[in-house]
Chain A
Amino acid sequence: MTAQGLKHRGSALWIAAMVHRLSGLALAIFLPIHFFVLGLSFRGGAQLDSFLRWSDQPLVKIAEGGLVFLLTVHLLGGLRVLVIENFDWHDGQKQLATLAAAISAAVAFVFLVRVF
């Protein structure tokens, strides 16, 4: 139909909602894998050792860092929703949304530094 494009979808709050949704989807894809791998790895013995070796790979550590970021950003996005739905309106919401993204990135960065 009319090709209006994504012009009005660049506001900080719209992006916050989209990041919240996409991080949720990514977590929904990741979590079954996470649970599955955990279930395998803690069975002791040879599987334990192979899990240790596997989880030492840089790629795995980056993936886990990504995960911490997703979890944090999804939690902060969720807090945004809970606050909007249950508390009075405040005008500083856009700034808070940007701050939340910055905090998530910081948390993920700290995690990465620790595991490398």
Chain B
Amino acid sequence: MPETPVQLSVSLWRGGPEGRYEAYAVPRRESQTVLDVVTYVQRHIDPTLSYRFACRVGMCGSCAMTVNGHPRWTCRTHVAKVAGDGRLEIGPLENLPLIKDLATDMAPFFEKWQQAKGVFAPSKTRGDAIPRIDPDSPARIAADAAIECINCGVCYSACDTVRWNSEYLGPAALNRAWTLVNDERDAGNAARLRAISASGGCHSCHSHQSCQEHCPVSLNPTASIAGLKRRAAAAYLKGELKA
């Protein structure tokens, strides 16, 4: 039985896009998470290390980074699970502009959210009766299955189509658009269908399903995007949508 190493060999990305990986030795602890490792480096070895976190308990999505080639929440990734041989390579999320070290600029991610019209468009005033939404209706079930997204960026970072096509809105933005397409109270679907069926919209998805495989909340953007494809195609064939 091979001995568990006492120290981890950790490789962290330092600098901007022209930076490089630097090596650190971090003591191994029981139940250690990758976020614990990054925090150790910043507190005990190099205080100039930049990284993001907030809740550290798997609720906020701020700590997402690329760990041994996969985008993950570092606070919910146990070292024992990903670094059996004691080696960790940690870099910033891919497909996003890099600010420094392990911190990326999330602005393009949120801009695409807006572009996909992932925003609720109200249809009533406070004077109208509250709509009754049946939780068992197919539309509400579809929306509920996709609604738990907390915008962590892991799916966006895992997606090859995002990498290949700078216009592609991406799995998170399209997943959110799908929840709103299924929201009975929303009044913005005409504009939303146009937004998601244009160039860079849902039809660019090739169903690789990297998003679904990596989502920490077990969402399925590929399925949401498939729903959008059907909705847009039906609207197009009925003449309700111009391409």
A48-80 interface code vs B (CB 8 A; 1 in, 0 out): 000000000000000000000000000000001
Pick the residue among B94, B160, B210, B222 that contacts A84 (CB under 8 A).
Answer: B222
Give the complex CA separation of A11 and B213 in angstroms. 9
Identify which of A1-9, A25-33, A34-42 touches chain B: A1-9
Is B230 part of the contact surface with A, judged by Cβ < 8 Å? yes
* Residues B66 and A86 in contact, CB atoms below 8 Å apart: no
What's the dominant secondary structure at chain A's contact region? Answer: helix
B210 touches A8 (CB 8 A): yes
> A67-101 toward B: CB 8 Å interface, digit per residue (1/0)?
00000000000001100111001000000000000
Per-residue A-contact encoding for B217-229, CB less than 8 Å = 1, 0 else: 0001011001001
Interface hit among B116-124, B187-195, B201-209:
B201-209
Instruction: Confirm or deny: A13 has a beta carbon within 8 angstroms of a beta carbon on chain B.
Output: yes
CA distance A3 to B220 in the complex (A): 27
Contacts of B160 in A (CB 8 A): 9, 14
Query: How many chain-B residues does the 8 Å CB contact rule pick out?
Result: 27
A17 within 8 Å of B (CB atoms):
yes
* Bound-complex Cα distance A86 to B229 (A): 9
Is B91 a contact partner of A2 (Cβ separation < 8 A)?
A: yes
Residue of A nearest to B93 (CB): A2
- State how many angstroms separate the Cβ of A99 from the closest Cβ of chain B: 17
Which B residues, 155 to 208, have Cβ-Cβ distances below 8 Å to chain A? 158, 160, 206-208
Contact-size category for A = 20 to 34
- Tell me which residues across on chain B come within 8 A of A5, comparing CB atoms: 69
Check if B230 sits within 8 Å of A14, measured CB to CB. Answer: no
Question: By CB atoms of chain A within 10 A, which of B13, B66, B222, B226 has the most?
Answer: B226
With both chains docked as a complex, state the minimum distance between the C-beta of A105 and any C-beta of chain B, in angstroms: 22
A residues less than 8 Å from B71 (CB atoms) = 8
Taking a contact as CB atoms under 8 Å apart, the answer to whether B226 and A8 are in contact is no
Q: Which of B13, B70, B207, B210 contacts A85 (CB 8 A)?
A: B207
Given contacts A81-B207, A84-B226, A89-B220, contact A2 B92 (CB under 8 A): yes
Neighbouring B residues of A84 by C-beta, 8 Å: 207, 222-223, 226
Which residues of A sit under 8 angstroms from B208, Cβ to Cβ? 13-14, 17
Which residue of A is nearest B213, CB measured? Answer: A11
Give the 6 A-B residue pairs with the shortest CB-CB distance, closest first.
Answer: A7-B69, A2-B91, A85-B226, A8-B70, A84-B207, A17-B208
